[in-house]
Amino acid sequence: MALTAQVKDELARLRVDRTSCRKAEVSSLLRFAGGLHIVSGRIVVEAEVDTGVVARRLKTSIAEVYGHQSEVVVIAPGGLRRGQRYVVRVVREGESLARQTGLLDNRGRPVRGLPPQVVAGGTEESAAAWRGAFLAHGSLTEPGRSSSLEITCPGPEAALALVGAARRLGVQSKAREVRGVDRVVVRDGEAISQLLVQMGAPEVAVVWDERRARREVRGTANRLANFDDANLRRSARAAVAAGARVERAFEILGADLPEHLREAGELRLAHKQASLEELGQIADPPLTKDAVAGRIRRLLATADKRAEELGIPDTEAGLAPELLDP
Query: Which pLDDT tens digit goes with each residue over 203-238?
Result: 999 988 888 877 766 655 555 555 555 666 676 677
- Cross-strand bridge partners of residue 104: 110
pLDDT band, very low/low/confident/very high, at 156 (cuts 50, 70, 90): very high
**Sign for the pseudo-dihedral over CA of 231, 232, 233, 238:** positive
Give pLDDT, residue 326: 46
CA atoms within 13 Å, Cβ hemisphere of 240: 14
* Model pTM score: 0.65
Q: Report the chain's mean pLDDT, rounded to a whole number.
A: 84
Task: Give the residue from 3, 65, 2 showing the smallest Cα distance to 29.
Answer: 65
Q: Which residue has the higher pLDDT, 243 or 198?
A: 198
Q: Which residue has the higher pLDDT, 257 or 294?
A: 294
Q: CB-based burial of residue 25 (10 Å sphere; 0-12 exposed, 13-18 middle, 19+ buried)? A: buried
Which domains are seen in the chain, by residue range?
Answer: 3-200 (3.10.28.10), 228-323 (no CATH)
115 pLDDT higher than 70: yes
Q: CB-based burial of residue 29 (10 Å sphere; 0-12 exposed, 13-18 middle, 19+ buried)? A: buried
175 pLDDT higher than 80: yes
CA distance 210 to 50: 27
pLDDT band, very low/low/confident/very high, at 24 (cuts 50, 70, 90): very high
